[in-house]
Structure 1
Amino acid sequence: MFCKKVNDVTICDIFSCNSVTQHLEIMRILKNLLLSALISTPLVAQEKPNILFIFCDDLGYGDVGVFWQNQRKEANKPDQPWFSTPHIDQMAAEGMLLHAHYCAAPVCAPSRASLFMGRHQGNAPIRDNQFDKVMPNQPTLGTTLKQAGYHTALIGKWGLQGKGKNSTEWPSYPTKRGFDYFLGGVRHRDGHEHYPYDQIHFKNKRTEIWEQDKEISEGLKGCYTTDLFTAATKKWLVDHKKESSDKPFFLFLSYDTPHAATQIATSPYPKGYGVKGGVQWIGKKGRMINTANNSPDNYIHPDYADKMYDHDSDPSTPLVPWTNVSKRYASSIRRIDNSVQDIIQTLKDLGMDENTLIVFTSDHGPSKESYIKENLQPGFFDSFGPFTGIKRDCWEGGIRPGAIVRWPKAIKAGSETELPSQMNDWMATFCEAAGTPIPAIADGTSLIPSLTGKGEQEASTIYVEYTVGGGTPKYAEFPKSRQGAKRGQMQVVREGKLKAIRYNTTKPDTPFMVFDVTKDPREENNLAGKPGIPSQEHWIKAVSRLHGVEKSAKRPYDKLAVSALDITKTTPGVTKKASDKQYAYAYRLTDAKTTTAGDLSISETKGNIEFSGYLKVEKDGSYGFEFAEGVNGVLRIHDILTLDTDSPEPAHATNSLKLTAGYHPFTLTVRANGKATKAPLLWKAPGADKAVAITAASLSH
């Protein structure tokens, strides 16, 4: 007997059918199933794009040539020093510039967590300065793409591991969050020093570099991390081609430069790029890479070694040399620039370039930290670009690093967009590119229409909340009205061209400043209260619909009621979508047929069911929500992640919301397990003794 398992269906006994018609029908089914199996073969699997995400640490919008430095070069003013990123510029010329791409927060841990989890800071479990906090076991870029058949790796900085001392103890070590391979610094502090073995600046704090379950820093003498991570990336790509070419890959390359120690390489970048040139992995202790030598922190790029500038903007005085720290800063970024070209050439050498989607961006704006005697001055090169603010600011300079995307197969060379987007959009974007569903727990919208020029781009949600002490630096390049601005609790929402922002927020109704950041990128002209500009009430309502309470990051607006929409008429019933496809998580149904249902009941089915519409709230007050026993799902009210029972570890979720009377949009996504239930979702109204089923009378669309 011939038996074969195809797409989880076992085909046996096809010759034992009772009629010719039945035999032909089975043969037809078998033919289709075998064709389906062929579509999954390695040759066609590569139709899914490879994904390479290159993430820098503290690289400002103004630090990239094509975004800003080239404009300084063209101006050719002696008092405006500039440097080059020729290879990153070439990447941009071959792809797309995202001028208005925002990070999730102006400091690394929350920004990275939001990126990996696809959730903005109103729904994220890691906020403010929660470095080294555990990232919960919920869908991540790694787990989602791994389930979609991707070979996954993370090389470089992490900082989201939780408490522990080693890979066994850390609860959210990268290999426990969807990455098949990891090499890099685990703890936040490990990203501050760029020579792990040599410990030039932090002799009392050992920097650790881990590869899988082994700490390897003792073998990294003379290794500069930019070179180390680049060489490891190239080696991983070569190995992937040899061993896993039947799978697409997702590689997250997380540089820890130019942040912190302002260290530089050992020597010139090796000649040539790609498989046979550039930096290379040697793999020997004390000679792990080909640029490891006994001259750490030594190499200033020759383009900058003898640079002079007009330090006092006075043509009558002599030019003076660039500061040492500025030469170092420019050299460290030039090293990243070389590395980008080295990796792209490696992809070309391996025949993987055409269908590899590459994203290049930074975790937030530039820093003034240098960890050496000479302080770094972001204004020396205008690392913040045409904006106001730096790292830890929510002005554009702190939260708008921009992005470059290259995908030869799908993106038109030399394209640009001014449409706002945010880092939490990459989860949805990569899922669509990979042909896998977007987790219901994720925020964000796919940027595929913008990138490819096909279809209509859905507007992204741009939302930031963050708190820290101190204030905006008093740099002459910033408007006087913004210099020294006390930070405290900061909050941002952008709608179209308008950005609403408030600093030093002390109460729920602290007023917002409003700026048209397309015309006023320095945020100099506050439009709040001007004709045609939305009122303070509008912006306060807008943020109330985005902010979910996180107990570890208290906000002065935590008790702000979520405002109902300004609508008065709806249609009874809710919209319903269903799919029989089963994944390890509840997912959005973007293409499924839409029907109308009178209630939220679920039949005996398996798969994914999505209800959406409005909840009618009769009176102001606090409403609790819970799923019926055995129901796995995700509930969103407005854009607030309200309830989750679907993840291995329950997601950050509010569970109860203070709502104003009126209509509140919701999306309920259930991962159906074959058990019928008439009331999967319950709520407890103000003053009620217990939670009850949400009835049809409270549902509409």
Structure 2
Amino acid sequence: MRSVLLFSILWITLISCSEKEVNQAIKPNIVFILADDLGYGEVGYQGQEKIKTPNIDALAASGKIFTNHYTAAPVCAPARCMLLTGKHGGHAYIRGNDEWRERGEVWDYAKAAEDPNLEGQRPLPADTQTLAKLLQGAGYKTGIVGKWGLGAPLSEGIPTNLGFDYFYGYNCQRQAHNLYPPHLWENEAKIMLNNEIVVPRTLLDSLADPNDAKSYSRYEQQDYAPDLMHEKALAFIESNQDKPFFLYYASPLPHVPLQIPAKDRAEYVKALGDETPYDGSQGYFPNQKPRAAYAAMIAKLDQQVGEIKQKLDDLDLAENTIIIITSDNGSTYTGGVDFDFFESSKPFTNGYGRTKGFVYEGGIRVPMLVNWPGKVEAGSSSNHISIFYDWLPTICDLVGIPIPADTDGESFMAAIYGKAQKPHEYIFWEYPEYGGQQAIRMGKWKAIRQNIIAENSLEIELYDLENDPQEQLNLAATNPDLISKMEAIFKKEHSKSALERFHMPALGD
């Protein structure tokens, strides 16, 4: 009789639980926040002193910092492809930014804004295995808010064909070169905004005073895309609070152009004082207060991170939600960003050739933290070497999904939990742009090939990151055995791309 009574109490308790409580007990929610061009040294917990990032820093303090985390490519589209597919640059379908030029005038911003046949990048095939599809198959509601860049609007490579139940944001990376765009996309629908078309690289009028704020009015319109997308991200969390969800929040911040509403930049205009206006000569839009604008864009990202965390708290979801924050590549070198003033890549080297677009540390080592109350030790850090293509197996591991056999990545769930973690034998990069590049990190050693296409070169540079994190002293000549090992890995990990654009003849393509 007593056992029957206990069973009855247990049954009543179970059926009285809300659907939210039952689902959350089984699978954690995942919020993956991917900043755009956020440098290793541009957040407070990494030593940034001029830009305030209190919300990101708080998540770092109550979670775990990974100091040796890498993007899988030094620019947007391939990094995002490799993140979602678990493939490295020697195997991935998208290995560089591919604007799919055979369609016509794809770089004509105004024409592409009007004609979706010219908008967007070359598509991933619809049958591509993605992290989103795997999570969708495990009962997750999946959403992407932000920047896509992996398939044009009318192609098979739109987000809703690749595992996402919901999409809102920029389909096209080129259209994201204006943060007050004429339109965004919601699933397959083109959503018109209250903004006029202002073509990127539009300069000040010839008679305009660069020190007069009114001269820049055309670059600040009504509908600020990062604000609109943020509202949709919050709404996605709220509307899916009763089921496990995966939110891939691919923010366009702080990627140039330097555009931020006046109310958001006021603090930094005051704090940073007089500035030399940026005239737009390096591309993107001019800006009267470029340092203040850039700092405010990172602060805006931080504010939005705080609001995501507050939404999770308000809905009683925080304890069962994994928050991951990282960046698609290192900081930019153009568009008016003063990377030396902000020490954007600290402790690595700054500037063209060493940051975005290149496989030196400033271009590929990115900030990364994981926050999961009660599961990840607060205030902890890890020096485990990890990379974007590890996320697919790691997230599968964290939520109890079988890891696909054909991933290039390795789960680092143990490192997240603070347990003994088997290290990679090596991690690998292949990037057929900016001259053509490959790289390997093996423990403290870093091997780099540059100008594989531009100069048909297979020369290898070798650096000891433990003693030379700025990659200044090439030790290749004194380590012939290690160079031979790196050559064998470069050959093993490269496969001929299915797309001619990414072929590297020096590698036998």
TM range (shorter): 0.7 to 0.9
Residue 210 (1) aligns with residue 195 (2): no
Residue type matched to 2:234 in 1? K
Residue 515 (1) aligns with residue 463 (2): yes
Deviation digits for residues 444-491 of structure 1 (CA, Å, limit 9, x no counterpart): 01111000013433427421112334xxxxxxxxxxxxxxxxxx1211
Give the distance between the partners of 1:342 and 1:460, measured in 2 at CA.
39
Cα distance, 1:558 vs. partner?
Answer: 2.9
Give the distance between the partners of 2:23 and 2:238, measured in 1 at CA.
18
Deviation digits for residues 219-250 of structure 1 (CA, Å, limit 9, x no counterpart): 57722222222211111111112xxx1x2110
Could you tell me which residue of structure 2 aligns to residue 135 of structure 1?
124
Identify the match of residue 491 of structure 2 among 530, 544, 557: 544
Could you tell me which residue of structure 2 aligns to residue 60 of structure 1?
39
Identify the match of residue 365 of structure 1 among 330, 333, 338: 330
Structure with more relative contact order (C-alpha pairs < 8 Å, separation 6 or more): 2
- Assess if the C-alpha contact under 8 Å between 1:222 and 1:266 holds in 2: no
Question: Does the residue aligned with 2:253 lie in a helix, a strand or coil?
Answer: strand
Residue type matched to 1:107 in 2? V
- Assess if the C-alpha contact under 8 Å between 1:431 and 1:437 holds in 2: yes
- Assess if the C-alpha contact under 8 Å between 2:184 and 2:193 holds in 1: no
Deviation digits for residues 345-387 of structure 1 (CA, Å, limit 9, x no counterpart): 11011011011111111110111332xxxx3232221112211
Cα distance, 1:308 vs. partner?
Answer: 4.6
Give the distance between the partners of 2:467 and 2:266, measured in 1 at CA.
36
| CA RMSD, Structure 1 to Structure 2 (Å) | 2.6
Residue 147 (1) aligns with residue 144 (2): no
Residue 503 (1) aligns with residue 450 (2): yes
Give the distance between the partners of 1:212 and 1:240, measured in 2 at CA.
17
- Assess if the C-alpha contact under 8 Å between 1:353 and 1:408 holds in 2: yes
Cα distance, 1:192 vs. partner?
Answer: 1.4
Identify the match of residue 172 of structure 1 among 138, 149, 157: 157
Give the distance between the partners of 1:41 and 1:436, measured in 2 at CA.
21
Question: Does the residue aligned with 1:216 lie in a helix, a strand or coil?
Answer: strand
- Assess if the C-alpha contact under 8 Å between 1:60 and 1:401 holds in 2: yes
Identify the match of residue 45 of structure 1 among 23, 34, 37: 23
**Which is richer in strand?**
1
Could you tell me which residue of structure 2 aligns to residue 581 of structure 1?
none
Length, aligned pairs only: 431
Could you tell me which residue of structure 2 aligns to residue 403 of structure 1?
368
Could you tell me which residue of structure 1 aligns to residue 61 of structure 2?
93
Deviation digits for residues 550-582 of structure 1 (CA, Å, limit 9, x no counterpart): 14211144339xxxxxxxxxxxxxxxxxxxxxx
Stretches (4+) displaced over 6 A: 37-41
Could you tell me which residue of structure 2 aligns to residue 464 of structure 1?
429
Residue 535 (1) aligns with residue 482 (2): yes
**Distance change >3 Å, CA 90–CA 540, structure 1 → 2:** same
Residue 339 (1) aligns with residue 339 (2): no
Deviation digits for residues 322-350 of structure 1 (CA, Å, limit 9, x no counterpart): 98111100011000011101110110110
Gapped runs of 5+ residues in structure 2? 1-10, 100-120, 196-220, 277-286
Deviation digits for residues 389-426 of structure 1 (CA, Å, limit 9, x no counterpart): 11111110011112111111311011111121100111
Could you tell me which residue of structure 1 aligns to residue 413 of structure 2?
448
Identify the match of residue 472 of structure 2 among 524, 527, 537: 524
Q: Percent identity?
A: 36
Give the distance between the partners of 1:398 and 1:376, measured in 2 at CA.
15
Give the distance between the partners of 2:193 and 2:273, measured in 1 at CA.
40
- Assess if the C-alpha contact under 8 Å between 1:104 and 1:399 holds in 2: yes
- Assess if the C-alpha contact under 8 Å between 2:461 and 2:475 holds in 1: yes
**Distance change >3 Å, CA 378–CA 419, structure 1 → 2:** same
Gapped runs of 5+ residues in structure 1? 1-33, 74-81, 198-207, 268-298, 312-321, 470-487, 561-701
Give the distance between the partners of 1:492 and 1:509, measured in 2 at CA.
14
- Using structure 2 for the length normalisation, give the TM-score: 0.79
- Assess if the C-alpha contact under 8 Å between 2:329 and 2:365 holds in 1: yes
Could you tell me which residue of structure 2 aligns to residue 189 of structure 1?
174
**Which is richer in helix?**
2
Cα distance, 1:216 vs. partner?
Answer: 1.3
**Distance change >3 Å, CA 309–CA 453, structure 1 → 2:** farther
Give the distance between the partners of 2:468 and 2:22, measured in 1 at CA.
48
Within 5 A, what are the aligned runs for 1:191-590?
Answer: 191-197=176-182, 208-218=183-193, 222-241=222-241, 245=242, 247-267=243-263, 299-308=264-273, 324-370=289-335, 375-388=336-349, 389-459=354-424, 461-469=426-434, 488-505=435-452, 510-530=458-478, 534-551=481-498, 552=500, 553-559=502-508
Give the distance between the partners of 2:317 and 2:169, measured in 1 at CA.
24
- Assess if the C-alpha contact under 8 Å between 2:432 and 2:503 holds in 1: no
Give the distance between the partners of 1:460 and 1:365, measured in 2 at CA.
24
Cα distance, 1:438 vs. partner?
Answer: 1.5
Give the distance between the partners of 1:266 and 1:216, measured in 2 at CA.
25
Question: Does the residue aligned with 2:233 lie in a helix, a strand or coil?
Answer: helix
Question: Does the residue aligned with 1:209 lie in a helix, a strand or coil?
Answer: strand
Cα distance, 1:145 vs. partner?
Answer: 0.4
